[in-house]
Amino acid sequence: MALLTDIRLPAVQLAAVSKSYPSAAGAVPVLREVSLGFPQRALTAVMGPSGSGKTTLLNCAAGLDKPDSGKVLLGDTDLAKCGERELTVVRRSRIGFVFQQFNLLPMLTAYENVALPLRLQRGRVKRDRVREALRQVGLEDKADRRPAQLSGGQQQRVAIARTLVAEPEIVFADEPTGSLDRRSGRQIMELLRDSVDRVGSTVVMVTHDPAAAACADRVVFLSDGKVVGRLDHPTAEAVAQQLSLWER
């Protein structure tokens, strides 16, 4: 397993990131001065109770949402300083996102869904690269199927291929196994692990499952908008034990 020293540069670095949402009773803080780096070529799991701010954290780190204050650095690009147009380019070319509900386009085949990021980058779509991404997730024989003709696990594998084809600097996955059965969930975890180990991807993944978190190099625990713990080289037992501490 990869060695995780703090010397390794983070792909994304958050510094004192705060975010709150307005409510009738006033602003409700969701992230409270979160400072955190996601190491390159590693799989980081983010865990915490429902409502603790995990999705908001990922969205801020991926430039899908803007913090109220603090810094988000992607490499040496400060996302807070990017205008909307620049941010769109960054999101398309440097960041990947995998959603719990797959978010594939229903009218497009698996092949066309995977080719889409390359199309959006206005480059020529290299057929070999799309095929290779589908092969990487074990679906080269399903290239012509539409999402409705695929199982949930297969759809999520297409979504991962669509992310990997653009070779992003970092992939964020928000509960990627959350709507899958155990077996498909395990396949997705193996894929993400494999892409870190073999291709050198950087992946940050939200999960509730200690077994999934145990595939990570590092687990970060979030509670009430704050980082409350960290575990390197986790085992499922150690993760479950931490959760029982923080979720009490």
Contact residues for Mg ion (CB under 5 A)? 54-55
Supply 64's token pair. Answer: 């899908």
Residue 56 or residue 202: which is nearer to ligand ADP going by CB? 56
> Closer to Mg ion at the Cβ: 44 or 154?
44
In whole angstroms, what is the distance from residue 211 CA to residue 214 CA? 5
Per-position x/- string for 42-81, each x denoting binding to ligand ADP as judged by CB under 6 A, each - no binding: ------x-xxxxxxx-------------------------
What distance in Å separates the CA atoms of residue 13 and residue 15, rounded to the nearest whole number? 7
Closest CA to 37 of 65, 8, 60: 8
Nearest-angstrom CA–CA distance, 116 and 15: 33
> Mask 13-32, x = binds ligand ADP (CB under 6 A)?
--------x--------x--
- The DSSP element (H or E) to which 241 belongs, if any, is helix 236-246
Q: Which residue is nearest to Mg ion (CB)?
A: 55
In angstroms, what is the minimal distance from the CB of 51 to ligand ADP?
4
C-alpha 9 chain-centroid distance: 18
Nearest CB to ligand ADP, comparing residues 147 and 225: 225
Interface ranges with ligand ADP (CB under 6 A)? 21, 30, 48, 50-56
